Chain A
Amino acid sequence: MPMYSEKVMDHFMHPRNVGTIENADGVGEVGNPVCGDMMTFYIKVNDGRLDDVKFQTFGCGAAIAVSSMVSEMAMGKTLDEATAITNRAVAEELEGLPTNKLHCSNLGADALHKAIENYRAKHAAQTAGGARND
């Protein structure tokens, strides 16, 4: 097995916030089966903050641990704070990842950011739509 830190193993064996959110405010999907990892993040936004974050992951131990850690780091943050979560910060929180698994940490933050973008795009469309209706 790859040399994973205790923290990675903990998140792999007991992933936090696994699941989906019905009527999520934002959904972000990244990855493909060729690279071997796929992640979907679901967010619920309340008052500009991430009220709930859930994820599903198809992938290796690192991919699962990264998604779990990202969900934990993002929970309760403002959208701007969550957007500022970097791949590097995720890897650091996990006490490091094997070099050939660093790309997994990129996917985690990317999926979260995509969910936030999705929320913002929907929100902007709603606002714009509302304006037209007036």
Chain B
Amino acid sequence: MRRVYLDHAATTPALPEVVDAMQPYLTDRFGNPSSLHDEGQEAADGVTEARARAAKLIGCLPEEIIFTSCGTEANNLAVKGLAWARQKKGKHIITSEIEHFSVLHAARTLEKMGFDVTQVPVDGNGLVDPGEVERALQDDTVLVSVVHANGEVGTIEPIADISKIVRERGIVFHTDAVASTGTIPVNVDELGVDALSLAGSMFYGPKGSGALYVRHGTRLTPLLDGGIQGDGRRGGTENVPAIAGLGMAAEIAGQRLQERHDHLSALQQKLEAGLTAAIEHIQINAAGAPRLPSRTSVSIRFVEGESMLMFLNMEGIAGASGSSCTSRALKASHVLIGMGCGHELAQGTLLFSTGEGNTTEDIDYVLEKLPPIVARLREMSPLYTKFRKESG
């Protein structure tokens, strides 16, 4: 059966070049990069090459890259590691309402350890107002972390404006660029950040690969104490195959960035125009903000996300939803609620996230299959019945 994968926000397939780049480090060049012998040096060379490739993609120095096991680890290392290293100076940190859970929950853990956390709100498009961040700054603020592009609705935050305000006060600024890296330009100097997280699995690298950029001279307390790996900032034998894969994915992302952007933007426009034309009572979320070209979050009134996803999956379409029923915690998306979407609309939200392998035919297929699913579910929806009665 035909499958149309539109859940690149969950993970992306590894490119063939990525798999080829990883393979030797599982077999022939299996050494531990910390070893002095030839086997170790071959592996170390692989890490060095990947480090240079990742650094080139985000415009930093190779030694400013710390490889991690995923984006979640990178965010934890940033939030906890940067806060811990400064706790004698102060215990206040600032994040936004629409951060990934790996930032929000890391901040929550810090709260239990005696830190104060301020979550700045977002507007209806999911945008953080730099002025709100400025007003939240305190004398004891030691870290501010705001996501570069939200992974769910795709809103691109004004990071350069926020980081300028924060760093002028001598406060460290981190951004979670897991959703944006490899899809739109990400440059640490243009963004003006001290730390930045990325994950290989979001741009056609392998799962289990992530990195944290930390600006030269920025103090960081490690999460994993161990040997001298990662210059003592991240113990543990390097996952050389994953690192090599992330490096290759970064290399290719750099080459294809414009091409990816143009392709994904065209698909996004087609999908959103098609949905708006074919289905009544819907809204495209964050439509008024600069957005990732790879995300379309659409709230469909009177129907619930999981049941739409189940029917879509039967038709061969893989998507995601912001509804309570699709989350293991049974809570509607905190991002949508933070944007003031309201619970009923959040429950009926679908997230389609495209990748470079998607085609216009894929979008046509979704536009053919989704409207009858919505119609069918609305027919059995008490909310729709009520709406029709009330609107005569």
Contact = CB atoms under 8 A, between A and B. Distances in A.
B313 A60 contact: no
Given A36-B332, A36-B347, A58 B324 contact: no
Interface size bracket, A side: 20 to 34
Given A1-B310, A1-B313, A12-B307, A58 B381 contact: yes
Nearest to A111: B382
Query: Secondary structure at chain A's binding surface: helix, strand, loop or mixed?
Result: mixed
A34 to B, nearest CB: 5
A78 interface: no
Contact of B382 (A35, A57, A61): A57
B302 A58 contact: yes
Contact of B380 (A13, A33, A56): A56
Contacts, number: 77
Given A56-B381, A100-B328, A37 B343 contact: no
Interface in B285-318: 302-307, 309-310, 313-314
Interface size bracket, B side: 20 to 34
A90 B309 CA distance: 24
Contacts of A56: 380-382, 385
Residue of A32, A33, A34 most packed against chain B (CB within 10 A) = A33
Given A15-B380, A37-B325, 10 more contacts: A18-B380, A33-B383, A34-B343, A56-B380, A56-B385, A57-B382, A58-B302, A60-B325, A61-B307, A63-B304
7 contacts: A1-B313, A15-B380, A56-B380, A57-B380, A58-B302, A58-B347, A64-B307
Interface of A: 1-2, 12-13, 15, 18-20, 29, 32-40, 56-64, 100-101
